[in-house]
């Protein structure tokens, strides 16, 4: 069995766990912060509720629209869990725009716990539906995590040295 790479991130927030939970559970609030900068997120169909699926569209002023299919496994004050795939506007799972090697479905698990008067959040991102090539790209993405653009800097330097 292949070891599946798991992306993890933790963050302390000053806000209470109830407010942090609402920012994930309330689709209106979630849309306000969950899209890349300058973009807008809109749920096209479905309901953001346990056991339900949604199809949403992320639109940027420039660049193509992206569609996501989410299956909401758990929406509890201390745990939000969902499966997410890139999809067509009709909700058929598909590769991300212009990039064909990526896990088909990623599981996101968010845990919220009260800490120091605020909220300690941990987030796990795990491929659950994938082929070997997609899994390798996910692992490569994690390797480039050291500084985000660090991977690009290396590549640029390599290229400039040619």
Which positions lie near another protein, rule CB under 8 A?
A: 7, 9, 11, 13-15, 19-20, 23, 29, 32-34, 36-38, 60, 62-64, 96-102, 121, 123, 125, 137, 140-142, 144-145, 148-149, 151-152, 155-156, 159-160, 162
Compute CA distances 27 → 46, 47, 56, 97, 131, whole Å. Answer: 11, 9, 10, 24, 31
Rounded to the nearest whole angstrom, what is the least distance from the CB of residue 75 to another protein in the complex?
16
- CB-nearer residue toward another protein: 1 or 28: 28
Closest separation in Å from C-beta 59 to another protein: 9
Nearer to another protein, 51 or 131 (CB): 131
- Cβ 2 to another protein shortest distance, Å: 19
Chain-centroid distance of CA 153 in Å reads 24
Instruction: Quickly list DSSP for 99-142.
Output: ---S-SEEEEEEEEEEETTEEEEEEEEEEEE--HHHHHHHHHHH
Residue closer to another protein, measured from CB, 57 or 137: 137
Least spacing, CB of residue 157 vs another protein, in Å: 8
Q: How far is the CB of 117 from another protein (least distance, A)?
A: 13
Nearer to another protein, 9 or 44 (CB): 9
Distant-in-sequence contacts of 15-19, Cβ < 8 A, 24+ apart = 15/118, 15/119, 16/114, 16/118, 16/119, 17/77, 17/78, 17/112, 17/113, 17/114, 17/119, 18/77, 19/119
Closer to another protein at the Cβ: 19 or 115? 19
């Amino acid at each position: 069995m292949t070891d599946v790479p798991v992306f993890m991130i933790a963050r302390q927030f000053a806000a209470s766990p109830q407010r942090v939970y609402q920012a994930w559970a309330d689709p209106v609030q979630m849309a306000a912060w969950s899209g890349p900068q300058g973009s807008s997120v809109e749920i096209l169909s479905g309901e953001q509720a346990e056991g339900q699926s949604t199809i949403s569209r992320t639109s940027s002023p420039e660049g193509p629209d992206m569609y996501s299919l989410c299956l909401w496994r758990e929406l509890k004050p201390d745990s939000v869990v969902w499966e997410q795939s890139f999809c067509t506007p009709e909700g058929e799972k598909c590769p991300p725009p212009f990039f064909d090697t990526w896990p088909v479905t990623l599981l996101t698990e968010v845990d919220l716990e009260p800490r120091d008067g605020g909220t300690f959040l941990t987030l796990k991102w795990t491929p659950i539906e994938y082929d070997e090539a997609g899994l390798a790209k996910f692992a490569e993405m994690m390797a480039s995590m050291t500084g985000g653009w660090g991977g690009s800097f290396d590549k640029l330097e390599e290229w400039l040295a040619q």
